[in-house]
Structure 1
Amino acid sequence: MAPPLSHTIEIRVRFGETDPYGVAYFAAILDYFKRGMDEFLRSRGLPPDLAYRNPKRNYGFPVVATACRYRAPVRFDDLLMLRTRVVRVEKSGATFGFSLFRTEAGKDILAAEGRISCRSIDASWTPVPLPAELRNILSAR
């Protein structure tokens, strides 16, 4: 089996994403994951808005499930590395995996890891098979 498709971005923790102790609020991490998904799609030549809501081709690709395991705190102004990868492509959807790292004393520390699953739907929110163009983008090596 070929290695999973992946894409890496840098993210700087902004002040507004932190709690009173300067630690990134838990929902900010999920936002980082979503940002990673957006940039993954862009890196494959598909604008995210056309993946998530494509009225011309009559499909959407909403998030249906998320999971996150918080391993180490990230703080205001930390520069993070987020790796996004395709974990699974199914008949009607796909699951993305995420690994978020911060650097401390020259070592990469796993700060969080998680998954986001999306499903393909039509305009009436009925599940439909993954459109070929999206399947190709998520499956091509």
Structure 2
Amino acid sequence: MKHEGYPFFHPHRVRYSEIDMQGIVYNSRYLDYFDAAITEYMRHCGFNYVTDARNSGKDFHLVKASIEFLKPVPYDEDVEIGVRIGRLGRSSLCWELGLFQKHSEELSTTGEIIWVYTNIEDHQSVPIPEDRRKQLTEPPAQ
């Protein structure tokens, strides 16, 4: 699988502090990579996560995170994390992520992150506003 289907990519170079004794990316670091890529995607879309939460009283809660490890990623490797929205429900948002090694463009790791939009005060799910849906599903060209 190549880069098809991902409208946005976030570059990263694997640092020494991110690897384990095997010389490959330590498993929990992939969630850090995915979080950074989602944050940059949202910034690219003009969505300021902190400002929106403060102004609206609504926030996204993480309800699921899964990772599939397909190929090890070594130290000092240049990678790109592809981001796309897989499903957009009434109050839920499913991020689909793919980590590619730049030298080969091979898919090394996939991830799925599911968020639910909630009221900050009572943590009950609420519908994602239409303007927010449009902002996140129609990103400008990268």
**Normalised by the size of structure 2, how large is the TM-score?**
0.86
Kindly provide the CA deviation profile for residues 19-72 of structure 1, in whole angstroms up to 9, marking residues without a partner as x: 112111111111111111001100100123345xx1221100121111111001
Q: Which residue of 2 aligns with 1:110?
A: 107
The Cα RMSD (Å) is: 1.9
Residues 89, 138 of structure 1: 8 Å contact kept: no
Give ranges in structure 2 of 5+ residues lacking alignment.
Answer: none
Q: Between Structure 1 and Structure 2, how many residues are aligned? A: 135
Q: Percent identity?
A: 24
- Give me the whole-angstrom Cα distance separating, in 2, the residues matched to 1:133 and 1:21: 46
Question: 1:110, 1:28 → 2: CA distance?
Answer: 17
Q: TM-score, normalised by structure 1?
A: 0.87
Q: Post-superposition, which runs of at least 4 consecutive aligned residues in structure 1 deviate over 6 A? A: none
Q: Give deviations 1:100-130, integer Å, cap 9, x for gaps.
A: 11144xx222110111111000022111111
Query: What is the match of residue 83 of structure 1?
Result: 82
Q: Which amino acid aligns with 1:138?
A: L
Residue in structure 1 matched with residue 123 of structure 2 by the alignment: 125
Identify unmatched segments of 5+ residues in structure 1. none
